[in-house]
Amino acid sequence: MVETLLSPSFITMIIIVYFAGIIRGYSGFGSALFAIPALAIIFGPVQAVAIEILIEISVSIGLFPMAMKSAKKETIFPILIAFILFVPVGTLLLVLINPNILKIIISLFVLLAVLVISQQSKITFLFSPKANFIVGAISGVTQGLAGMAGPFFAIVILARGESSTITRANITMLSAAIICISVISFLIFGLINYQTIIYALLASPAILLGAWSGSVLFHKYSNNNFKSIILYFLTFSALFTLFETVYM
């Protein structure tokens, strides 16, 4: 165990997880976009997704109470229902097909959506419960298959043009829900093993510390530039995912 804790791969994982936590604490989502491509190099794609969803449990518990106060239930409930139905579909696909094609499609969609949102403060057709259910269904499949639900539903929540507090709360609530559903789905399909749990437990303090740091940054600097920062982050993560998928 001591050798494991001192190994370059473990130290690298802790650094990755800490910075992923900062992103999660600030924006309410996004840790998977940073962590999974990097962890996949060390552990492989399936175990990278499994480790990521396990370490997210503690962060979700920590951020949930504050988000609950500001989140809009009429926005998130249709998405949550679709999550429950469609995450297992994506998890089943994970054991059957290569998720790289989906990663490329998601990344291209995110880049297009960032361009649209940057030119328009609100996209009103996304306000209906039906639209939210469709978003939840697509997000559920992408989460189960590639651990990448965040970009899709974050784009949709951001497109509503609400305050940074409400936007972050909605995203945080959805992130917490999809993590819980993903853990159950991964357990059912046997994608979480003893080693995965050990690594996740050892990495949890790092993501908690990172999430706390990110929350501090949000409360200090989110008033005027939250939307711009999230759009920049989404653009960077989409480009990084494209590069990682195609060239690595």
Compute the average pLDDT of residues 147-170: 80
Averaged pLDDT of the chain? 81
Torsion sign across C-alpha atoms 100, 105, 18, 172: negative
pTM: 0.77
Q: What is the pLDDT of residue 77?
A: 86
Q: Which residue has the higher pLDDT, 208 or 122?
A: 208
Close Cβ partners of 201 (under 8 Å, ≥ 6 residues apart): none
Q: What is the pLDDT of residue 207?
A: 94
- State pLDDT tens for residues 68-94: 888 888 888 888 888 888 888 887 877
Q: What is the pLDDT of residue 2?
A: 42
**CA atoms within 13 A of residue 246's CA, in its CB half-sphere:** 10
Instruction: Please check the confidence at residue 3 and state whether its pLDDT lies above 50.
Output: no
Q: Which residue has the higher pLDDT, 155 or 5?
A: 155
Q: Please answer whether residues 21 and 210 qualify as being in contact, where contact means their C-beta atoms are separated by less than 8 angstroms.
A: yes
Q: Which residue has the higher pLDDT, 231 or 98?
A: 231
Instruction: Please check the confidence at residue 157 and state whether its pLDDT lies above 80.
Output: yes
Q: What is the pLDDT of residue 205?
A: 93
Q: What is the pLDDT of residue 1?
A: 47
Identify the DSSP state of 127.
G
- State pLDDT tens for residues 192-204: 888 889 889 999 9
